[in-house]
Amino acid sequence: MMKDLIDRRDFIKTFSIIAGSSMLAGSMPWLKTVNAQETGKVVRLGIIGTGSRGMHLHLFLKDIPDLDICCICDDYEPNLQAAQAAVGPKARAYTDYRIMLEKEKPDAVVIATPLYEHAHMTIDALKAGIHVFCEKSMAKTYEDCNEMVKTHLSTGKILYIGHQRLFNIKFQQAYKMIREGKLGNITQIRAFWHRNNDWRRPVPSPDLERKINWRMYHEYSCGLMTELASHHIQVANQIYNEHPECVWGSGSINYWKDGREVNDNVNLVYKYPCKSHLVYDSLISNKHYGLEVQVQGPQGTMELESGKMWEEFPPPAPGILQLINNLEHKVFDVIPIGGASWVPDSAVNDKGQYIINKVLEDDGTKMQMEAFVADVRNNRVDSEITKQGFHSTIATLMGFNAIMNNEIVYWPEGLVM
């Protein structure tokens, strides 16, 4: 099946249809923002954390009209220099984000720093009256996440957590179809994220190991859980339309025994109040299966990363359907074959159907950054998107704790939006 590239107009139209669906009853308010193409008022934005992720986000920010990337900040000189070259000399460079916030007073900041720094940077920015886009996961502890949410609510400032699948048209179209009952009630979600590399970055000198490879150490990161799993947990939460009630699991270091502290494989089962589960695993010693989210219901299956679906009971050919009807009604009659829809040797599509029959260039990141800037420009505060990030991070940290403490971990009381 050939697919055409989706153009922006088609994209916006499809998003509008999804966002406007009565079935979803406005449960995805952030999609409405995607339509907003307002320009005029210049938004002044700072980037805190100019490593690989921060610069990846810059690729999308730089093309947004009337956006002035006025300042950048990083405490690692090589990254700051590279960012200065990419963003241009007009952006003022800082090594301390507090000084940058105070001096520049930008309208908004993008925070793409290591996980352990998300909370205090976000809280400081919000308290300074600055809107925040913070990369996922939200923070490293329940308490930090809760403080971030409280500050977002008390200051009335925007807080986006970077879950780009919320802006991925394929995922959101699938979500709409699921809510419309295409698969029946969802009875299981399986998700996995597999890679085959050591997940390390090159270190110029040994004293920079922990700074550069912060993902390897518990002091800064929760490893595969906060860096990869949180994306698929967010997707599962959205599909079940609730957060999990508990999780159990296990993990270990069984391959990359190189001094790292975080597990190189994790396996978890999340139980949701609807009695269905998310079965999740991640490893970095085999990439054969890649990444996928498999959503299963009595009527069908969807694979969201590849954007495909299969019906459990595809309708039989017309003649066969008539035969089945006759059998059910105890009627002996002619079985019609070769009817109007018949084509000799017609191929069946056993490779599934596409959820969206278009090639997508954007995995949601571009649209997410545009939506954030549009919200900042119009001072539109949408707590639903904060909630998605908050609940996915709490569930992610529950999974991490379940593995670390070898116990069933229940949703922490009171931590809901």
Partner 1 sequence: MGTRIDIILPGCDDESADSICLRLQHELKRTEEKISIYIPESDFSIINKLAFNKPVKTDEEIFDLLDEVIRLSEKTHGFFDFTLGRLLKLIQEDTSLLSDEKKLGDLIQKTGTRYIKLDRKLHTISVTSDLVSIDSGGFGKGFGLDLVKNIMKDTKIYSYFISFGESSILACGSHPYGNSWKTGIRNIFKEDEYICSFEMRDEFLSVSGITPQNLKKFGTGHIINPVNGKPVARLLHAAVKGKNGLATEALSTALIVAPEEHRDMLMKEFTDCSAVIFEYDENNNAKIIYQKTI
Binding mask 196-235 for partner 1 (x = CB under 8 A): ----------------------------------------
Q: Which stretch binds partner 1 (CB under 8 A): 108-116, 266-274, 296-304, 346-354?
A: 346-354
Binding flag, residue 1, partner 1 (CB under 8 A): no
Least separation in angstroms between residue 325's CB and partner 1 is 12
Q: Which of 204, 345, 413, 414 binds partner 1 (CB under 8 A)?
A: 345
Phi, psi of 99 (to 5 degrees): -65, -40
Ramachandran angles phi, psi of 62, nearest 5°: -65, -20
Query: What is d(CA 64, CA 54) in angstroms, rounded to the nearest whole number?
Result: 16
Number of chain positions touching partner 1 (CB under 8 A): 26
Q: Report d(CA 377, CA 74) in Å as an integer.
A: 25
Is the preceding omega at residue 137 within 30 degrees of 0, hence cis?
A: yes
Residue 119: DSSP 8-state: H
SS3 270: strand
How is residue 186 written in tokens?
């969802």
- Of 275 and 329, the one with the shorter C-beta distance to partner 1 is 329
The amino acid sitting at 253 is I
Each residue 309-338 as x (binds partner 1 by CB under 8 A) or -, in order, gives -----x-xx-xx--xx--x--xxxxxxxxx
Token pair 């998605």 in the structure block, residue: 388
Q: Does 410 bind partner 1 (CB under 8 A)?
A: no
Among 343, 351, 405, 413, which residue sits at the site for partner 1 (rule: CB under 8 A)? 343
Which H or E run includes 98?
Answer: helix 97-104
Q: Which stretch binds partner 1 (CB under 8 A): 21-29, 114-122, 136-144, 342-350?
A: 342-350
Pick between residue 20 and residue 339 the one whose CB is nearest to partner 1: 339
57 to 76, contacts with partner 1 by CB under 8 A? none
> Which CB, 257 or 330, lies closer to partner 1?
330
Beta carbon nearer to partner 1, 95 or 299: 299
Which DSSP state fits 308? E
Measured from the CB of residue 330, what is the shortest distance to partner 1 in angstroms? 5
What is the spatial distance between Cα 225 and Cα 396, in angstroms, rounded to a whole number? Answer: 6
Q: How far apart are CA 8 and CA 255, in angstroms?
A: 44
Calpha distance 165→55 (Å, rounded)? 19
Q: Which residue is it, tokens 């947990």?
A: 233
Q: Which is nearer to partner 1, 17 or 331 (CB)?
A: 331
Among 2, 5, 85, 340, binds partner 1 (CB under 8 A): 340
Output the smallest distance, CB 351 to partner 1, in A.
12
Match 């270990």 to its residue by tokens: 252
Under the criterion CB under 8 A, does residue 289 sit at the interface with partner 1? no
- State which of residues 5, 9, 347, 351 lies at the interface with partner 1 (CB under 8 A): 347
What is the distance between the alpha carbons of residues 133 and 109, in angstroms, rounded to a whole number? 6
Residue numbers of the site for partner 1 (CB under 8 A)? Answer: 314, 316-317, 319-320, 323-324, 327, 330-340, 342-348
